[in-house]
Amino acid sequence: MSIASGLVCPTPHAVADRVQLGHGSGGTLTAALLRDHVFPVFDNPVLRQQGDGAVIRSLGPTLVMSTDSFVVHPLEFPGGDIGLLAVHGTCNDLAMMGAHPRVITAGFVLEEGLEVALLDRVLASMGRAVRAAGIDLVAGDTKVVERGRADGLYVCTTGLGARDPRLAPLPSRARPGDAIIVSGAVGRHGMAIMAAREGLAFEAEITSDTAALWPLVDCLAHHFGDQVHVLRDPTRGGVASALTEIALASRVGMRLAEERIPVPDPVAAACAMLGLDPLYVANEGILLAILPAEQADRAVELLREHPIGAGAARIGTVVEEHPGIVTLQTPLGGTRVVDLLPGDQLPRIC
Amino acid sequence: MSIASGLVCPTPHAVADRVQLGHGSGGTLTAALLRDHVFPVFDNPVLRQQGDGAVIRSLGPTLVMSTDSFVVHPLEFPGGDIGLLAVHGTCNDLAMMGAHPRVITAGFVLEEGLEVALLDRVLASMGRAVRAAGIDLVAGDTKVVERGRADGLYVCTTGLGARDPRLAPLPSRARPGDAIIVSGAVGRHGMAIMAAREGLAFEAEITSDTAALWPLVDCLAHHFGDQVHVLRDPTRGGVASALTEIALASRVGMRLAEERIPVPDPVAAACAMLGLDPLYVANEGILLAILPAEQADRAVELLREHPIGAGAARIGTVVEEHPGIVTLQTPLGGTRVVDLLPGDQLPRIC
């Protein structure tokens, strides 16, 4: 998540005198930390853009920059590892700004005693992801800290991309009547991490969805251009938090139909067992797109032609009523409000 | 240090099967890690530039990008803190490429339980440094890990700048006959950290030299332009490692005169007491400039007009003999070879 997102904090949490795990959740505690402690220090027009990355007009008309730290535990999990996540996550933040990722940098903090073989696997993953995305890793840095001062390795990636002239997505551009589309199944990454961390065995293995989303963005840009009003990857805080942030930024309401949200059976079963809501579980390879309702069916169809978009679905509608609030209609006809998480449902998910 | 520097590794250290503290030193162990494990995975023309940052020609003719992780311990020390260091360090890497720093991003890893008051002081330092440098912090990210999985806070900053058309410094441009200039006293940062960490009391307090070096680069660019052959900030590994890397990249030798190297008395005394060589101690607010000998006196004079350049001195000469080797002439007429450190003299210095 960009430092810039989360500017709109709906609840007046005060930050306590010590940092809590929830301050890293991407939820309201993170928003409060940014609002009260970070933005007042660094306030500037670029930060105020509130995107997943920053448009750097002073250095070129179309440059976009984004940064992300990765502290996922465990370092390797079904479907990926921290290296794959670090490349995909930062490239996806650029893609959600409508920017084509071009180069990336990586800063590593290694813990003394880390197995070099594990480091090699993570680097190999990053290399594969970088080549698959058609980008270059152009600079990096390595620091080592004593045993017990990290957890294997942390990596911070920063991406630079060029804004695609066909697109101008913004969290504030959702309009009443727009359709809300998700590009694939919800909840896989978070539950894959949870299963790996806790050693849980579910009937079917849940794998992370980690993937580079630029090909889907490119497809939407080609067919719908500027009609793509909003793009967002629902990572920390899940679909619920991402949509609530958009509803707040656009001053619109949203209505989701629960039975339309694609939750794989193993994810649903694992969530039920653990008392978690898949709408709040982190994803690392799906996007939310908001565009005019008349384009929705075609958009879903086009997304489904991509392997990572095969599970695309229209899950809801933007409405004029209850601005800033996302509601979920249950199959039985009930309605409940979906809100931002205060802290982590699952810490260290990315 | 950029991932790109240290490409030239003079000694064939093999990386063991576990990461050691020395792999983060910026010395030959770091170089071996990069050579054997990182470059083969990410090899590309930009990485091969071997600079402190990367010139991103694909996105603009003059863009330069650099990244650095900061893990300094303790977080606050005489003369600065991790926040000041994180802004200065990354901006200085850009400046050493002849690039004017313009924007910066920051990725934080916070340890659960960190005092928010301490975080606020670090953020305030970063804010002051950002404003003093005339740059904007444009994006960021915050993650929190459990107690015992970090050491207060780590931060990774990435900078983007515009290459100054007056300058084209490269580690490979040192020429026999050139003068080697240092912009200020040597050894302050490392010894300030050492004193703070070990609770040592010296007769006079040693403060870190942390400072933004762009004003000095701007001055040199104005007066000498392209005659500034090499710029380098001697951080991890100190003056000795920085000059050895340049000698290797330029295939030249270097002769330093020990009595001309400005080492403050308290630094010299502390080094003597601890058995350290000030030439290997990290600096965070001085630069090495290599330019034609006939410009050397004027360059020193001009640098001395700046508060942070007041201690500037000509410390040696580039020679044709013994390429790749830096020698030090002692006041008594002896000569010794200055080499790269294999590992850390002081770990977690930045």
pLDDT tens, position by position, B184-219: 999 999 999 998 988 877 778 899 999 999 999 999
The C-alpha atoms of residue A346 and residue A191 are separated, in whole angstroms, by: 9
> Cβ–Cβ of B160/A56 closer than 8 Å?
yes
According to DSSP, the β-strands at B178-182 and B313-319 are antiparallel
Set of chain A residues whose Cβ sits within 8 Å of the Cβ of B115? 17-19
User: What percentage of chain B has pLDDT greater than the value 70?
Assistant: 93
Over range B294-321, report the average pLDDT. 98
Over range A293-301, report the average pLDDT. 98
**Strand (E) or helix (H) holding A156:** strand A153-163
The C-alpha atoms of residue A53 and residue A40 are separated, in whole angstroms, by: 19
Set of chain B residues whose Cβ sits within 8 Å of the Cβ of A106? 3, 67
SS3 A40: helix
> Cβ–Cβ of A139/B3 closer than 8 Å?
yes
Over range B72-90, report the average pLDDT. 97
The C-alpha atoms of residue A145 and residue A289 are separated, in whole angstroms, by: 41
Query: How deeply is A246 buried, as exposed, middle or buried, from its count of CB atoms within 10 A (0-12, 13-18, 19+)?
Result: buried
The C-alpha atoms of residue B3 and residue B21 are separated, in whole angstroms, by: 17
* Interface residue of A36, A110, A156 to substitute, partner B, most B CBs within 10 Å: A156
Average of per-residue pLDDT values in chain B: 91
Per-residue pLDDT, A214: 98
Over range A230-252, report the average pLDDT. 95
Residue in A245, A244, A231 with CA at minimum distance from that of residue A6? A245
Residue B82 pLDDT greater than 60, yes or no: yes
Count of CB pairs separated by less than 8 Å, A with B: 300
SS3 A32: helix
Tokens found for residue A59: 């250095």
Per-residue pLDDT, B343: 63
Range with the poorest average pLDDT among A199-208, A238-247, A308-317, B302-311? A199-208
Tell the residue number behind the tokens 């100190």, with chain if given. Answer: B238
> Cβ–Cβ of B102/A58 closer than 8 Å?
yes
Per-residue pLDDT, A343: 63
Residue A342 pLDDT greater than 50, yes or no: yes
C-beta separation of A260 from A186 below 8 A: no
Set of chain B residues whose Cβ sits within 8 Å of the Cβ of A22? 144
Over range B25-42, report the average pLDDT. 86
CA separation, residue B103 to residues A118, A225, B84 (Å): 34, 29, 15
The alpha carbon of residue B96 is apart from the nearest alpha carbon of chain A, in Å, by: 14
> Cβ–Cβ of B144/A22 closer than 8 Å?
yes
Set of chain B residues whose Cβ sits within 8 Å of the Cβ of A57? none
Q: Each residue of A35-64: pLDDT tens digit?
A: 899 988 998 888 877 666 788 877 877 899
Residue A15 pLDDT greater than 70, yes or no: no
Tokens found for residue A181: 């589309």
Candidate from A46, A113, A140 with C-beta closest to B67: A140
Set of chain B residues whose Cβ sits within 8 Å of the Cβ of A122? none
The alpha carbon of residue B130 is apart from the nearest alpha carbon of chain A, in Å, by: 8
Tell the residue number behind the tokens 């079917």, with chain if given. Answer: A204
The C-alpha atoms of residue B68 and residue B324 are separated, in whole angstroms, by: 26
Q: What is the 3-state secondary structure (H, E, C) of chain B?
A: CCCCCCCCCCCCCCCCCECCHHHHCCCHHHHHHHHHHHHHHHCCCCHHHCCCCEECHHHCCCEEEEEEEECCCCCEECCEEHHHHHHHHHHHHHHHCCEEEEEEEEEEEEECCCEHHHHHHHHHHHHHHHHHHCCEEEEEEEEEECCCCCCCEEEEEEEEEEECCCCCCCCCCCCCCEEEEECCCCCHHHHHHHHHHHCCCCCCCCCCCCCCCHHHHHHHHHHHHHHCCEEECCCCCHHHHHHHHHHHHHCCEEEEEHHHCCCCHHHHHHHHHHCCCHHHCCCCCCCEEEEEHHHHHHHHHHHHCCHHHCCCEEEEEEECCCCCCEEEECCCCCEEEECCCCCCCCCCCC
Better-scored residue on pLDDT, B323 or B6: B323
Residue B314: what are its φ and ψ, rounded to 5°?
Answer: -85, 120
> What pTM, to 2 d.p., does this model score?
0.92
Over range A95-122, report the average pLDDT. 96
Better-scored residue on pLDDT, A58 or B299: B299
The alpha carbon of residue A155 is apart from the nearest alpha carbon of chain B, in Å, by: 9
SS3 A150: coil
Per-residue pLDDT, B52: 67
Per-residue pLDDT, A156: 98
> Cβ–Cβ of B116/A37 closer than 8 Å?
yes
Set of chain B residues whose Cβ sits within 8 Å of the Cβ of A120? 37
> Cβ–Cβ of A148/B143 closer than 8 Å?
no
SS3 A34: helix
User: What percentage of chain B has pLDDT greater than the value 90?
Assistant: 75
Per-residue pLDDT, B6: 36
Indicate the pLDDT class of residue A7, thresholds 50, 70 and 90.
Answer: very low
Q: How far is CA A304 from the centre of its chain?
A: 20
Indicate the pLDDT class of residue B1, thresholds 50, 70 and 90.
Answer: very low
Q: Which residues contact B177 (CB under 8 A, 6 or more apart)?
A: B292, B293, B317, B318
Single-letter code of the amino acid located at A57 = R
Better-scored residue on pLDDT, A264 or B7: A264
Indicate the pLDDT class of residue B224, thresholds 50, 70 and 90.
Answer: very high
Closest residue in B to A152 (Cα) is B149
Q: Each residue of A55-100: pLDDT tens digit?
A: 887 787 789 999 999 999 999 999 999 999 999 999 999 999 999 9
Q: Each residue of B239-256: pLDDT tens digit?
A: 999 999 999 999 999 999
The alpha carbon of residue A133 is apart from the nearest alpha carbon of chain B, in Å, by: 13
Residue A10: what are its φ and ψ, rounded to 5°?
Answer: -75, -25
Over range A264-280, report the average pLDDT. 92
Per-residue pLDDT, B2: 39
* Interface residue of A19, A100, A128, A348 to substitute, partner B, most B CBs within 10 Å: A19
Set of chain A residues whose Cβ sits within 8 Å of the Cβ of B36? none
Residue A4 pLDDT greater than 60, yes or no: no
- Give the 3-state secondary structure percentages of chain A, helix then strand then coil, rounded to 5: 35, 25, 40
Better-scored residue on pLDDT, B47 or A328: A328
Per-residue pLDDT, A51: 65
Neighbouring CB atoms inside 10 A of A65's CB total 28
The C-alpha atoms of residue A267 and residue A186 are separated, in whole angstroms, by: 8
Per-residue pLDDT, B162: 94
Per-residue pLDDT, A3: 37
> Cβ–Cβ of B141/A38 closer than 8 Å?
no
Indicate the pLDDT class of residue A8, thresholds 50, 70 and 90.
Answer: very low
Indicate the pLDDT class of residue A11, thresholds 50, 70 and 90.
Answer: very low
The C-alpha atoms of residue B116 and residue B78 are separated, in whole angstroms, by: 20
User: What percentage of chain A has pLDDT greater than the value 90?
Assistant: 75
Candidate from B41, B138, B144 with C-beta closest to A54: B138
> Cβ–Cβ of A136/B34 closer than 8 Å?
no
